């Protein structure tokens, strides 16, 4: 192998002309008698490499023809612009060397099932879609760090083994820490509050663990969360910070990952709309909407649209089944069969949504003030808006002990959730923190928590307490929303779900 004249595929436009070498893996190949098309991937992109008989030794030509998918190889040749090729450039090969031939690579360029791909996650990361998601995830994380670093925030790493309960006691992962029971962090927030009193503006970024019995497309037991915490800030200030963060993420992805967004079929115009100001609703207003005529109309319209789609799809399926019965060439039969499988899958999903629609309607209509918003309620609210929506001032009973009671209305706390658009639901939860010693102590006791464990946390209210607050943004949910991926498990390289850990 030579690293001389080595180039990466994403910089081919700067290397048109002279002989260069690509190091990568064989993504796919097509061969005919005298010409071969090798699609090579090198981690930065795909490049079609043309091997013509007579322009390379016959022996090499034959060897390349037999090279299996995902064989590692180095190819040398000259780059030229070519519209017909992936990425707009291609290589005319003059020499090549197999680094390590691969045989029988399990993931073919054809459809596979979820379980199969999950069990082969270590290989699945190489495929186009997963690769593109990983690139977007990288940008999202970089945009987050950039935003805070550029705005005077100090990174503070909070512990993963913790003694405190930040969210819900029932969702703790307990670990045996040399005989002492500790648990994995659910949030760095309480530690971060103490750091905010040292630095003013801080953030932490790390994995978070929640043992919730939630088997849904929106939940992971291990996920990544960024949490800023700011001294001397009120609820309005937090909303500005959150919309600044989220819109800067959206804009960065738009500039850095346009081709990935296209590969993934993301809704780019929707992403372009993600600019401040976002919509703002109070919890009470949200409940009114859910119980009111707007929601009834919205759900009825959705029901009609779904019924229409269902009819169209059933019509198409019937048509294809009729065609299938006729005299057709084998490849036509196959094409029809493949389309049928697709359509049946989509139809099943539409049927589920039709089935859920009245349930969601009932849940929303019967919603009583005081409950937390359910998944379907969040979906309805976010579907009714064309960009993210803040919902503020939730009932105190439904929320965590550390949230600051609103002094104008003691029934609610000064908190907010940010609901992403298009039904993706909550991506941020945050609040102003209770800064009054007595009130905080009372809430800790009311929740049945042990005040001794929170001694140090209460200290923060003893020694120079200030109004402060922060929020947590879930990385995977943000990525899922940005790219329009329905299942969160695709947005982390090695997902951990409630009932499933593959590799």
Chain residues 238-297 in contact with RNA, contact rule CB under 7 A: none
The reply on whether position 500 binds RNA by CB under 7 A is yes
Smallest distance, Å, CB 150 to RNA? Answer: 26
Nearer to RNA by C-beta: 220 or 226? 220
* Beta-bridge mates of residue 46: 41
- DSSP string across 327-396: ---HHHHHHHHHHHHHHHHHHHHHHHHHHHHHHHHHHHHT--BTBPPPHHHHHHHHHT-SS-EEEE--BG
Smallest distance, Å, CB 189 to RNA? Answer: 12
Give 256: exposed, middle or buried? Use CB within 10 Å, 0-12, 13-18, 19+: middle
Q: Which of 183, 218, 387, 443 binds RNA (CB under 7 A)?
A: 218
Smallest distance, Å, CB 326 to RNA? Answer: 15
The DSSP symbol for 15 reads G
Smallest distance, Å, CB 218 to RNA? Answer: 6
Let me know: does 166 contact 190? Beta carbons within 8 Å: yes
Structure tokens at 453: 């464990």
Q: State which H helix or E strand residue 324 sits in.
A: helix 293-325
Nearer to RNA by C-beta: 9 or 220? 220
Q: Which of residues 378-397 bind RNA (CB under 7 A)?
A: none
The reply on whether position 149 binds RNA by CB under 7 A is no
Smallest distance, Å, CB 6 to RNA? Answer: 23
Smallest distance, Å, CB 160 to RNA? Answer: 15
The reply on whether position 48 binds RNA by CB under 7 A is yes
Q: Which of 35, 125, 275, 446 binds RNA (CB under 7 A)?
A: 35
Helix, strand, or coil (residue 439)? helix
Nearer to RNA by C-beta: 36 or 247? 36
Q: Which of 417, 434, 435, 485 binds RNA (CB under 7 A)?
A: 417
Smallest distance, Å, CB 196 to RNA? Answer: 20
Q: Which of residues 323-362 bind RNA (CB under 7 A)?
A: 330-331, 333-334, 337-338, 341, 344, 349, 352, 355-356, 359
Cα angle for residues 381, 384, 388 (degrees, 5° grid): 70
Q: Which of residues 152-191 bind RNA (CB under 7 A)?
A: 167-168, 171
Structure tokens at 26: 């064989």
| The one segment of 156-164, 408-416, 441-449, 470-478 that binds RNA by CB under 7 A | 470-478
| Three-state secondary structure readout of 116-140 | HHHHCHHHHCCCHHHHHHHHHHHHH
| The one segment of 47-55, 136-144, 284-292, 301-309 that binds RNA by CB under 7 A | 47-55
CA-based nearest residue to 303, from 362, 345, 343: 362
Q: Which of residues 78-137 bind RNA (CB under 7 A)?
A: 82, 84-86, 90, 92, 103-106, 108-116, 118
Give the count of residues interacting with RNA (CB under 7 A): 81
The reply on whether position 443 binds RNA by CB under 7 A is no
Q: Which of 73, 144, 488, 491 binds RNA (CB under 7 A)?
A: 488
Let me know: does 417 contact 375? Beta carbons within 8 Å: no
Smallest distance, Å, CB 285 to RNA? Answer: 19
The reply on whether position 458 binds RNA by CB under 7 A is no
Location of structure tokens 């200290």: 459
Q: Which of 75, 132, 220, 380 binds RNA (CB under 7 A)?
A: 220
Nearer to RNA by C-beta: 154 or 343? 343
* Distant-in-sequence contacts of 191-195, Cβ < 8 A, 24+ apart: 191/156, 191/158, 191/159, 191/162, 192/156, 192/158, 192/227, 192/229, 192/470, 193/229, 193/433, 193/457, 193/460, 193/468, 193/470, 194/456, 194/457, 194/460, 195/154, 195/156, 195/158, 195/229
The reply on whether position 372 binds RNA by CB under 7 A is yes
Q: Which of 21, 47, 69, 387 binds RNA (CB under 7 A)?
A: 69
First to last CA, the chain: 32
**φ, ψ at 161 (rounded to 5°):** -80, 120
**φ, ψ at 294 (rounded to 5°):** -60, -40
Smallest distance, Å, CB 255 to RNA? Answer: 26
Smallest distance, Å, CB 174 to RNA? Answer: 17
């Amino acid at each position: 192998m030579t690293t001389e004249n080595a180039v990466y595929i994403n910089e081919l436009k700067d290397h048109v002309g002279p002989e260069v070498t690509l190091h990568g893996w064989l993504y796919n190949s097509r061969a005919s008698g005298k010409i071969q098309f090798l699609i090579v991937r090198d981690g930065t992109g795909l490049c079609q490499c043309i091997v013509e008989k007579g322009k390379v030794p016959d022996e090499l030509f034959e060897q390349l023809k037999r090279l299996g998918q995902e064989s590692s190889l180095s190819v040398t040749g000259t780059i030229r612009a070519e519209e017909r090729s992936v990425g707009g450039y291609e290589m005319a090969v003059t020499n090549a060397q197999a680094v390590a031939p691969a045989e029988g690579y399990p993931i073919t360029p054809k459809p596979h099932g979820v379980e199969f791909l999950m069990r082969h996650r270590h290989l699945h990361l190489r495929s186009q879609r997963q690769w593109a998601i990983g690139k977007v995830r990288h940008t999202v994380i970089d945009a987050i760090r950039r935003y805070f670093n550029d705005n005077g925030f100090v990174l503070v790493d909070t512990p993963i083994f913790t003694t405190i309960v930040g969210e819900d006691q029932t969702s703790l992962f307990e670990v045996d820490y040399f005989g002492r029971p500790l648990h994995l962090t659910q949030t760095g927030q309480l530690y971060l509050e103490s750091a905010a009193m040292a630095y003013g503006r801080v953030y932490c970024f790390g994995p978070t663990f929640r043992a919730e019995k939630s088997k849904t497309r929106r939940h992971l037991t291990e996920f990544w969360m960024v949490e800023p915490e700011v001294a001397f800030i009120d609820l309005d200030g937090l909303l500005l910070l959150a919309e600044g963060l989220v819109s800067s993420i959206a804009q960065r992805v738009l500039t850095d990952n346009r081709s990935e967004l296209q590969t993934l079929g993301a809704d780019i115009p929707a992403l372009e709309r993600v600019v401040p100001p976002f919509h703002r609703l109070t919890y009470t207003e949200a409940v009114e909407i859910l119980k009111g005529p707007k929601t009834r109309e919205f759900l009825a319209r959705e029901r009609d649209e779904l019924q229409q789609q269902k009819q169209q799809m059933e019509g198409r399926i019937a048509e294809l089944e009729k065609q299938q019965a006729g005299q057709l060439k084998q490849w036509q039969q196959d094409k029809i069969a493949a389309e049928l499988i697709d359509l049946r899958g989509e139809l099943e999903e539409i049927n589920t949504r039709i089935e859920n629609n009245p349930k969601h309607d009932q849940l929303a209509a019967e919603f009583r003030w005081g409950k937390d918003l359910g998944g379907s309620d969040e979906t309805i609210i976010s579907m009714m808006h064309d960009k993210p929506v803040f919902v503020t001032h939730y009932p105190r009973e439904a929320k965590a002990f550390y949230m600051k009671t609103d002094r104008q209305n003691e029934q609610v706390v000064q908190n907010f959730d940010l609901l992403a658009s298009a039904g993706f639901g909550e991506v941020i939860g945050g609040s102003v923190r209770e800064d009054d010693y007595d009130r905080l102590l009372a809430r800790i006791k009311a929740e049945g928590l042990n005040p001794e464990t929170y001694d140090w946390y209460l200290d923060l209210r003893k020694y120079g307490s200030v109004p402060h607050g922060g929020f947590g943004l879930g990385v995977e949910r943000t990525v899922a929303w940005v790219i329009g991926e329905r299942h969160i498990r695709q947005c982390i390289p090695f997902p951990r779900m409630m009932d499933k850990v593959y590799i």
